[in-house]
């Protein structure tokens, strides 16, 4: 199980990479392993749309479960990963790389401070695996 | 004791294995004060005796084998080929559960897949689910789907007054407390164009019926186009027999087609169980409620069928599910699949045409009776409304002496239609029956 | 050998049914409304019959063998029920014909209402809901209407235990109320502390299944109900597990304010491969006015010479219709026949033997399978389908291997609060011999899990098809067959 150090994490299993004023979002390795074979991904917003912290912006479905994906930060959508609707299985194989879901311009960068770092998130995952 | 295989020896051995002395000892957790109530129920009867009782009960009803039936209004007296019930009586079909273990449920799964296919091909839609309880709840689910499609940001639902009154009541029951603006059916207007003026940017769904409750056939192309322009979804409640000869609702631009499949091989049975069908376009497949069967392969490379898109459903998604539906109308969907298979392309068209021509014959005869007048001049399928010189309930009571079950009293649902009767004619009504009806109507309203 | 699709068996020109020619002149057909093509199959009667008979042979049903699905109550479906509902005097009656011409039907429905009231301990019953989930939605609507009517509009929450069936939260969400999940305690009961903490004046009610989905009678059920009543809420009973309570205790006497019955579980009507069911709702005195209508009432007591008369009435503050017409009358005839044949003593015997059978199976399996709550159960119990000594073997594999032994598997992966759950409900209509055969199979499988796990993981082996690729089914959606596309291979 991977927990890249340069990312921050949410309690609902999303990861966020912050580069300057830009943030990239996806779901974690732990999340994809819980869902197992992912068959469908829908990233809803269009470029230019504004999201509030906590908004659900995507849906991920496997054969046995369905999950909403939430943004931990507010901002304006810059780009969405169109390739995921064609190849949803990318979320299983490369959750932190090719399976990025959304890029946005942060409206309030201070929101990222509340998020877990890799060590805290790894501990959180271990807690839940019992 | 009926259906219990246990002997005294069995009970003794089982109690010993469990480690208790008597069966009563298994109920320690039940509060003593209310345990083992004396139920005021009749004593048991044997199978031999019950049949006499049921026979007597059933014979104190009037039924359509001995009465000419001209009553429709959402439930129709059609011919059911004998094959249908024989298949429904196959034990492996009717004593099976929902097919959650596909390896031993291919009979159910494939027949549902075939049912889905037949409904899609009949309605012109891309995907059908495995059924809802009835036409009314299918329409309510269409409303829920439209609201969800617009992320609960739109709150208006436009309902044509031509939709079955029960269906519109059910929509209102389902939507109570949701703060919706349900409009369009306050009064019976003659033109669909009046509905167009009600469609605005806050409209989630526009629903109409085809043929409508009063039997009329209307073209919804303009209404669907206008609705789409405003971003609203369109739903057509359709009669499946009429689709044997009439243009499928897909041609008008319908997004969802719902209705009741009772006319497809399901007996009247005093109102149920019937069959709600629900079909829609591919774009909405993940939004729809209910079970769906899909095709796939097994580990040996053979084609097989499974329930699919199950994460939408209640057992996985719980409060986020597209609906709460669990048990649906499985065996009735099988009935419809068998009916449509045995009727086939030629049979269904012929049934539809028989209904059409017979109904038009009856309408002509009755419309020209003294004191009676056809209410609508437009095209109709197999039902039509007539203005009567007396109250419908008086007429129907008198018709019983002629062994005729008269039509529906429209005054109950439409204040504009006091003393109007809705007459339904199907392929089972003979010319003789219709001539007798006309004669009887004239006699009971004389003077 | 796979059975072809009905469309694949079709041949142009074949005819299945002969119909008489019109005995009236042809009317003018409606311009602009005629369809060109009608894409339905064309088969002769013999081909239709063979197709569906062969499909039926691919199915397992209660009439084939044991179906121990927890919370489904797959009991034997009496054949007399099937004859009863097909009597012409029942099958050929129209729901809208004058009630005076349908007194037999109304009398039957009235008695079903009365008997369900008596069995459940309720003051009013509506037979209109079509299934259990439909009854649940009806119940939540009644709870909401009751509070609204009293001006108590801040009650927006429904408390639901984490062991509840998925339809409970789904039904609540459909009504627009908020779901608050309650944890279960170590003994599998509703956690009383959590319940107390959650109870306030924003709670509309609690949905409770008793016995719960672990098959256990809630040990503090009256305390739980009183707690909800104290904070002003109502208690809805999910009656799916009624098979354990007939003549044992009446939910109304425990304090439940409403309850739905599943006629297709407790009252022997067949499951039909996914319905139709029937989910009547019973309510206490203060809720009778809110029931969905119409319901059947006795309009005339009758005399020695004249039988009583029955009619359809709408309750004074009805929440409205929940479906068209009156309800699943065909299922009511079956339930009536069943209740009449069982009578008072028979219904009690049903529950006694359902509970006996479940506890016997539990006794036979408890050495080989871990049962998290290993105490006297009611009509069902939950075992874990997993062993430390057999890593990699899951409940799913046990389920699939059971098919090779000729049994339908128990419910898998429910309730959610037990990992690798196998929920087992034999029902009362199974003999000791069948139960022993089932237990023997499960014991063998427990052995195989240690000595030959591969045979479980690749099971089933003797069924018409092997394990099916559900990922493929979800990714490459093929949901219907179009005649125009025939000729394309399935793979």
Q: Give first-to-last CA distance, chain A, whole Å.
A: 16
Mutate to test the interface with C, among A34, A37, A41 (most CBs of C within 10 A): A37
Residues B75 and B88 grouped into a single domain = no
pLDDT band at C490 (very low <50, low <70, confident <90, very high): very low
Query: What pLDDT, on a 0 to 100 scale, did the predictor assign at position C205?
Result: 97
3-state secondary structure of B403: coil
C105 touches B at CB < 8 Å: yes
Q: Are C315 and C289 in contact (CB under 8 A)?
A: yes
Nearest residue of A to residue B308, measured between CA atoms:
A63
What's the rounded Cα separation, in Å, for the pair B315 and B310? Answer: 8
Domain assignment of residue B231, yes or no: yes
Tokens coding B150: 């617009």
Domain assignment of residue B51, yes or no: no
Asked if the Cβ–Cβ distance from C474 to A88 is below 8 Å, we say no
DSSP assignment of B381-395 equals SSEEEEE-SS-HHHH
Q: Of all helices (H) and strands (E), which one includes residue C45?
A: helix C45-56
Residues B396 and B278 grouped into a single domain = no
Nearest residue of C to residue B351, measured between CA atoms:
C19
Query: What pLDDT, on a 0 to 100 scale, did the predictor assign at position B327?
Result: 80
Residues B357 and B315 grouped into a single domain = no
Query: What pLDDT, on a 0 to 100 scale, did the predictor assign at position B151?
Result: 84
Residue whose entry in the numeric block shows the structure tokens 């009608």? C38
Residues B121 and B235 grouped into a single domain = yes
Q: Which residues contact residue B424 at a Cβ distance below 8 angstroms, ignoring those fewer than 6 apart?
A: B69, B70, B71, B72, B73, B76, B77, B215, B359, B382, B383, B407, B408
**A–B CB contacts, 8 A cutoff, strictly below:** 18
- Tell me the β-bridge partners of B344: none
Distance of CA B388 to the CA centre of its chain: 29
For residue C469, the distance in angstroms to the closest alpha carbon of chain A comes to: 10
Phi first, then psi, for residue C290 (nearest 5°) are: -95, -5
Using the predicted structure, report yes or no on whether residue B188 has a pLDDT greater than 90. no
Residues B92 and B204 grouped into a single domain = yes
- C431-442 pLDDT, tens per residue? 999 999 999 999
Phi first, then psi, for residue A87 (nearest 5°) are: -125, 75
How many domains does chain B contain in total? 2
Nearest residue of B to residue A64, measured between CA atoms:
B311
Residues 22-61 (B) with a CB less than 8 A from some CB of C = 23, 26-31, 34-37, 39-47, 50-51, 53-61
Using the predicted structure, report yes or no on whether residue C487 has a pLDDT greater than 60. no
pLDDT band at C414 (very low <50, low <70, confident <90, very high): confident
Taking phi over 0 as left and psi of -120 to 50 as alpha, with beta for the rest, B318 belongs to: left
Asked if the Cβ–Cβ distance from C52 to B28 is below 8 Å, we say no
What's the rounded Cα separation, in Å, for the pair A108 and A73? Answer: 7
Q: Which residues of A touch C474 (CB under 8 A)?
A: 39-40, 61-63
- Tell me the β-bridge partners of C283: C124, C258
- Going from the C-alpha of B310 to that of each of B286, B313, C470, the distances in angstroms are 10, 5, 10
- Going from the C-alpha of B75 to that of each of B52, B224, B262, B383, C423, the distances in angstroms are 29, 27, 7, 12, 40
What residue ranges in chain A does DSSP mark as E strands?
Answer: 8-9, 14-19, 22-27, 38-43, 50-51, 56-62, 66-70, 75-80, 102-106
What's the rounded Cα separation, in Å, for the pair B67 and B62? Answer: 7
Residue whose entry in the numeric block shows the structure tokens 């829609």? B280
Report the alpha-carbon angle C256-C259-C265, nearest 5. 135
- A25-57 pLDDT, tens per residue? 999 999 999 888 899 999 989 889 999 999 999
Q: Which residues contact residue B200 at a Cβ distance below 8 angstroms, ignoring those fewer than 6 apart?
A: B156, B230
- Going from the C-alpha of C265 to that of each of C73, C142, C262, C272, the distances in angstroms are 5, 23, 5, 12
Strand pairing class (B181-183; B156-159): parallel
Domain assignment of residue B57, yes or no: no
Q: Which residues of A touch C475 (CB under 8 A)?
A: 39-40, 88
Residues B204 and B120 grouped into a single domain = yes
Asked if the Cβ–Cβ distance from A61 to B311 is below 8 Å, we say yes
Q: pTM of this prediction?
A: 0.95
Residues 169-188 (C) with a CB less than 8 A from some CB of B = 169-176, 179
Provide the CB-side half-sphere exposure for B158 (13 A, CA). Answer: 26
What's the rounded Cα separation, in Å, for the pair C209 and C184? Answer: 13
What is the percent of chain B with per-residue pLDDT over 90, rounded to a whole number? Answer: 90
Asked if the Cβ–Cβ distance from B169 to C321 is below 8 Å, we say yes
Residues B332 and B226 grouped into a single domain = yes
Using the predicted structure, report yes or no on whether residue B10 has a pLDDT greater than 90. yes
Using the predicted structure, report yes or no on whether residue A95 has a pLDDT greater than 50. yes
Q: Can you tell me the mean pLDDT for C105-118? A: 98
Q: Can you tell me the mean pLDDT for B396-416? A: 97
What's the rounded Cα separation, in Å, for the pair C313 and C203? Answer: 31
Q: Is the ipTM of this complex over 0.95?
A: yes
For chain C, domains (ranges, CATH) are 80-341 (3.40.640.10)
Q: Are B232 and B199 in contact (CB under 8 A)?
A: yes
Residue C160: closest CA among C245, C235, C55, C79: C235
What is the percent of chain C with per-residue pLDDT over 90, rounded to a whole number? Answer: 92
Boundary-marking domain end, from B289, B305, B339? B339
Using the predicted structure, report yes or no on whether residue C488 has a pLDDT greater than 60. no
Nearest residue of B to residue A41, measured between CA atoms:
B286
Asked if the Cβ–Cβ distance from C292 to B173 is below 8 Å, we say yes
- C229-253 pLDDT, tens per residue? 999 999 999 999 999 999 999 999 9
Give the least confident one: B114-128, B206-220, B309-323, C203-217.
B309-323
Strand pairing class (C157-161; C178-182): parallel
Domain extent at residue B252: 82-339
Gyration radius of chain A's alpha carbons: 14
Using the predicted structure, report yes or no on whether residue B196 has a pLDDT greater than 50. yes
C46 touches B at CB < 8 Å: no
Q: Are B216 and B162 in contact (CB under 8 A)?
A: yes
C98 touches B at CB < 8 Å: yes
Asked if the Cβ–Cβ distance from A88 to C470 is below 8 Å, we say no
DSSP assignment of C188-235 equals SSB-HHHHHHH-STTEEEEEEESS-TTS---TTHHHHHHHHHHTT-EE
Query: What pLDDT, on a 0 to 100 scale, did the predictor assign at position A129?
Result: 73
Q: Which residues of C touch B2 (CB under 8 A)?
A: 78, 341-342, 346
Residues B361 and B255 grouped into a single domain = no
Mutate to test the interface with A, among C419, C420, C474 (most CBs of A within 10 A): C474
What's the rounded Cα separation, in Å, for the pair B97 and B327? Answer: 9
Residues B354 and B252 grouped into a single domain = no
Mutate to test the interface with B, among A42, A64, A66 (most CBs of B within 10 A): A66
Mutate to test the interface with B, among A63, A67, A68, A85 (most CBs of B within 10 A): A63
pLDDT band at B320 (very low <50, low <70, confident <90, very high): confident
Asked if the Cβ–Cβ distance from A88 to C471 is below 8 Å, we say no
Q: Can you tell me the mean pLDDT for A84-105? A: 94
Domain assignment of residue B37, yes or no: no
Domain assignment of residue B284, yes or no: yes
Q: Which residues of A touch C470 (CB under 8 A)?
A: 63
Nearest residue of A to residue C419, measured between CA atoms:
A130
Phi first, then psi, for residue C58 (nearest 5°) are: -90, 0
CATH class of the region A8-108+116-121: mainly beta
What's the rounded Cα separation, in Å, for the pair B64 and C358? Answer: 46
Asked if the Cβ–Cβ distance from A65 to B316 is below 8 Å, we say yes
Q: Which residues of B touch A63 (CB under 8 A)?
A: 310-311
Residues 70-129 (A) with a CB less than 8 A from some CB of B = none
Domain assignment of residue B264, yes or no: yes
Q: Is the dihedral of CA C352, C353, C356, C357 positive or negative?
A: negative
Enumerate the domain spans of chain A. 8-108+116-121
Q: Which residues of C touch A63 (CB under 8 A)?
A: 470-471, 474
Distance of CA B178 to the CA centre of its chain: 25
Boundary-marking domain end, from B291, B313, B339? B339
Q: Which range has the top average pLDDT, A53-57, B286-290, B292-296?
A: B292-296
Asked if the Cβ–Cβ distance from B316 to A63 is below 8 Å, we say no
Query: What pLDDT, on a 0 to 100 scale, did the predictor assign at position A64?
Result: 77
What's the rounded Cα separation, in Å, for the pair B326 and B314? Answer: 7
Q: B29-62 burial, b for 16+ CB within 10 Å, e for fewer?
A: bbeeebbebebebeebbeeeebbeebeebbebbb
Q: Which residues of A touch B316 (CB under 8 A)?
A: 64-66
Domain assignment of residue B161, yes or no: yes
DSSP character for B301? S
Query: What pLDDT, on a 0 to 100 scale, did the predictor assign at position B447?
Result: 66
Q: Can you tell me the mean pLDDT for C326-334? A: 97
Residues B189 and B308 grouped into a single domain = yes
Boundary-marking domain end, from B339, B363, B391? B339
Residues B246 and B390 grouped into a single domain = no
Query: What pLDDT, on a 0 to 100 scale, did the predictor assign at position C486?
Result: 65
Runs of H (alpha helix) within B124-199: 135-149, 165-175, 193-196
Closest partner CB to B176 (pick from C62, C320, C323): C320
Provide the CB-side half-sphere exposure for B406 (13 A, CA). Answer: 27
Q: Which residues contact residue B168 at a Cβ distance below 8 angstroms, ignoring those fewer than 6 apart?
A: B159, B185
Residue C127: closest CA among C241, C266, C252, C263: C263
Q: Are C164 and C244 in contact (CB under 8 A)?
A: no
3-state secondary structure of A116: strand
- B357-378 pLDDT, tens per residue? 999 999 999 999 999 999 998 9
For residue C391, the distance in angstroms to the closest alpha carbon of chain A comes to: 16
Query: What pLDDT, on a 0 to 100 scale, did the predictor assign at position B276?
Result: 97
Tokens coding C414: 């429910």
Query: What pLDDT, on a 0 to 100 scale, did the predictor assign at position C489?
Result: 39
What residue ranges in B288-340 does DSSP mark as E strands?
Answer: 293-297, 303-307
Q: Are C138 and C295 in contact (CB under 8 A)?
A: no
Domain assignment of residue B7, yes or no: no
Q: Which residues contact residue A4 at a Cβ distance below 8 angstroms, ignoring those fewer than 6 apart?
A: A15, A96, A118
Residues B363 and B376 grouped into a single domain = yes
Residue B243: closest CA among B115, B116, B353: B353
For residue B259, the distance in angstroms to the closest alpha carbon of chain A comes to: 29
Query: What pLDDT, on a 0 to 100 scale, did the predictor assign at position B323?
Result: 80
pLDDT band at C1 (very low <50, low <70, confident <90, very high): low
Measured from the Cβ of residue B177, the count of other Cβ atoms closer than 10 Å reads 13
- Going from the C-alpha of B372 to that of each of A11, B141, B419, the distances in angstroms are 72, 39, 10
């Amino acid at each position: 199980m991977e927990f890249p150090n340069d990312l921050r994490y949410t309690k609902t299993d999303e990861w966020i990479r912050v580069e300057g004023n830009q943030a990239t979002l996806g779901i974690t390795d732990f999340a994809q392993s819980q869902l197992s074979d992912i068959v469908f991904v829908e990233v809803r917003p269009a470029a230019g749309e504004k999201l509030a912290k906590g908004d659900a912006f995507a849906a991920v479905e496997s054969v046995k479960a369905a999950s909403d994906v939430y943004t931990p930060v507010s901002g304006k959508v810059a780009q969405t990963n169109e390739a995921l609707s064609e190849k949803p299985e990318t979320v299983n194989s490369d959750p932190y790389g090719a399976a990025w879901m959304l890029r946005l311009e942060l409206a309030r960068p201070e929101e990222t401070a509340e998020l877990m770092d890799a060590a805290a998130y790894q501990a959180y995952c271990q807690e839940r695996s019992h | 004791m009926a259906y219990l295989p246990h002997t005294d020896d069995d009970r003794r051995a089982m109690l010993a294995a469990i480690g208790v002395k008597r069966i009563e000892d298994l109920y320690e957790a039940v509060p003593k004060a209310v345990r083992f109530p004396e139920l005021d129920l009749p004593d048991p009867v044997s199978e031999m005796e019950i049949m006499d009782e049921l026979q007597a009960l059933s014979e104190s009803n009037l039924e359509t084998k001995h009465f000419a039936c001209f009553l429709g209004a959402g439930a129709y007296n059609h011919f059911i080929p004998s094959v249908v019930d024989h298949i429904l009586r196959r034990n492996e079909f009717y004593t099976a559960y929902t097919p959650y273990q596909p390896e031993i449920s291919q009979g159910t799964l494939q027949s549902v897949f075939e049912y889905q296919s037949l409904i899609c091909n009949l309605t012109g839609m891309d995907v059908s689910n495995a059924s809802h309880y009835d036409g009314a709840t299918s329409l309510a689910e269409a409303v829920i789907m439209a609201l969800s499609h617009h992320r609960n940001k739109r709150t208006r639902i436009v309902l044509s007054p031509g939709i079955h009154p029960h269906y519109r009541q059910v929509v209102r029951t389902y939507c109570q407390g949701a703060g919706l603006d349900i409009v369009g059916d306050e009064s019976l207007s003659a033109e669909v164009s009046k509905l167009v003026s009600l469609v605005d940017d806050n409209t989630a769904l526009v629903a109409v019926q085809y043929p409508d409750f009063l039997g009329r056939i209307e073209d919804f192309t303009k209404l669907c186009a206008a609705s789409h322009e405003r971003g609203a979804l369109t739903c057509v409640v359709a009669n499946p027999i009429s689709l044997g000869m009439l243009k499928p609702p897909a041609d008008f631009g319908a997004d969802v087609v719902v209705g009741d499949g009772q006319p497809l091989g399901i007996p009247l049975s005093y109102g149920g169980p019937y069959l709600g069908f629900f079909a829609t376009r591919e774009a909405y497949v993940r939004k729809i409620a209910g079970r769906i069967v899909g095709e796939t392969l097994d580990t040996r490379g053979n084609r097989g069928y499974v329930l699919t898109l199950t994460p939408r459903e209640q057992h996985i998604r719980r409060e986020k599910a597209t609906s709460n539906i669990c048990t649906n109308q499985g065996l009735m969907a099988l009935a419809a699949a068998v009916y449509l298979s045995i009727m086939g392309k030629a049979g269904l068209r012929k049934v539809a045409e028989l209904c059409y021509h017979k109904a038009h014959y009856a309408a002509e005869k009755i419309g020209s009776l003294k004191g009676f007048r056809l209410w609508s001049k437009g095209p109709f399928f197999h039902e039509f409304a007539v203005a009567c010189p007396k109250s419908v309930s008086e007429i129907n009571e008198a018709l019983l002496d002629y062994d005729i079950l008269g039509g529906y009293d429209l005054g109950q649902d439409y204040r504009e239609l006091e003393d109007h009767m809705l007459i339904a004619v199907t392929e089972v009504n003979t010319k003789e029956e219709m001539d007798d009806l006309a004669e009887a109507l004239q006699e009971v309203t004389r003077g | 050998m796979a059975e072809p699709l009905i469309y694949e068996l079709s041949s142009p020109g074949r005819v299945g049914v002969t119909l008489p020619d019109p005995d009236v002149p042809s009317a003018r057909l409606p311009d602009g409304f005629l369809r060109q093509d009608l894409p339905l199959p064309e088969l002769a009667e013999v081909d239709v019959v063979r197709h569906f008979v062969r499909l039926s042979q691919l199915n397992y049903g209660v009439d084939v063998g044991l179906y121990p699905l927890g919370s489904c109550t797959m009991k034997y479906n009496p054949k007399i029920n099937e004859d009863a509902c097909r009597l012409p005097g029942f099958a050929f009656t129209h729901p809208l014909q004058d009630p005076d011409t349908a007194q037999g039907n109304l009398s039957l429905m009235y008695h079903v209402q009365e008997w369900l009231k008596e069995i459940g301990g309720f003051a009013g019953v509506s037979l209109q809901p079509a299934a259990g989930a439909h009854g649940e939605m009806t119940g939540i609507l009644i709870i909401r209407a009751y509070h609204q009517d009293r001006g108590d509009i801040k009650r927006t929450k429904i408390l639901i235990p984490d062991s509840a069936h998925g339809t409970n939260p789904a039904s609540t969400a459909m009504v627009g109320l908020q779901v608050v999940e309650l944890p279960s305690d170590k003994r599998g009961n509703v956690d009383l502390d959590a319940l107390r903490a959650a109870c306030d004046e924003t709670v509309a009610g609690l949905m409770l299944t008793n016995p719960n989905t672990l098959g256990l009678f809630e040990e503090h059920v009256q305390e739980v109900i009183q707690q909800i009543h104290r904070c002003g809420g109502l208690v809805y009973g999910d009656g799916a597990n009624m098979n354990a309570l007939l003549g044992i205790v009446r939910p109304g006497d425990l304090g439940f304010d409403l309850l739905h019955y599943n006629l297709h579980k407790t009252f022997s009507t067949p499951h039909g491969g996914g319905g139709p069911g029937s989910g009547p709702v019973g309510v206490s005195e203060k809720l009778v006015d809110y029931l969905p209508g119409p319901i059947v009432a006795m309009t005339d007591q009758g005399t020695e010479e004249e039988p009583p008369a029955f009619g359809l009435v709408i309750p004074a503050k009805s929440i409205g219709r929940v479906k068209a017409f009156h309800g699943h009358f065909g299922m009511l005839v079956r339930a009536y026949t069943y209740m009449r044949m069982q009578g008072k003593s028979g219904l009690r015997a049903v529950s006694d033997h359902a509970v006996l059978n479940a506890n016997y199976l539990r006794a036979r399996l408890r050495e080989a399978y871990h049962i998290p709550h290993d105490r006297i159960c009611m009509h069902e119990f939950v075992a874990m389908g997993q062993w430390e000594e057999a890593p990699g073997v899951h409940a799913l594999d046990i389920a699939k291997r059971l098919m090779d032994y000729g049994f339908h598997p128990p419910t898998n992966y429910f309730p959610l609060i037990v990992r690798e759950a196998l929920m087992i409900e034999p029902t009362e209509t199974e003999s000791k011999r069948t139960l022993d055969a089932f237990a023997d199979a499960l014991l063998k499988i427990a052995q195989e899990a240690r000595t030959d796990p591969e045979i479980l993981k690749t099971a089933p082996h003797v069924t018409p098809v092997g394990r099916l690729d559900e990922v493929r089914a979800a990714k490459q959606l093929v949901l219907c067959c179009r005649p125009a596309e025939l000729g394309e291979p399935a793979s």
